[in-house]
Amino acid sequence: MSKQKIETKQKRIRSNKQEQLYQELIKDQSKICKDFMINLNTDTNLTIHTLKKKFRLLNAIVNRKLCKNFIKCPEKRVGFYGFFERKLNNNHINLLVQVPKEYDVLNVLTLIVQGWKKLGFRPWYQVSNDKNAVVSYQIKQFTNQESENFLIS
């Protein structure tokens, strides 16, 4: 897996809420992985409600593989930040992942890919050196935290 640079042709225009989230994620010193652009594709027109169910199920699958009692140990839980995007015949999730220190990021990424395939869908990810481009692309559909197109799991 070689590192590739994600190039943006133009500066993305963001709303005030997107700009606030972008600045927080860029400054964030937590273990949110900004090295991978992860898209969880469905290749279908699933409703957002159904997509959220699959998203929560994927989170449970990944956390169960890493720690059997992840519900009792929230500090060992892998966090998913999902930004839902509607496209014709491909409603999908742009994903940012928060990985605790004791886990390897590549191992977690492998579990995400395996889990999404197990649910019958096609995952896609790309390695990037440009954290700004990753965050900017992933949050492009964000409107606010109460909206239906954003979920933390």
Confidence of residue 11 (pLDDT cuts 50, 70, 90): low
Tokens at residue 79, please?
């966090």
The rounded distance, in Å, linking the Cα atoms of 97 and 31 is 8
Residue 10 clears pLDDT 70, i.e. is over it: no
User: What is the average per-residue pLDDT within 15-38?
Assistant: 75
pTM score of the predicted model: 0.77
DSSP 114-142: HHHHHTT-EEEEEEBS-HHHHHHHHTTT-
CA angle 110, 114, 119 (to 5 degrees): 150
Residue 42 clears pLDDT 50, i.e. is over it: yes
User: What is the average per-residue pLDDT within 37-53?
Assistant: 89
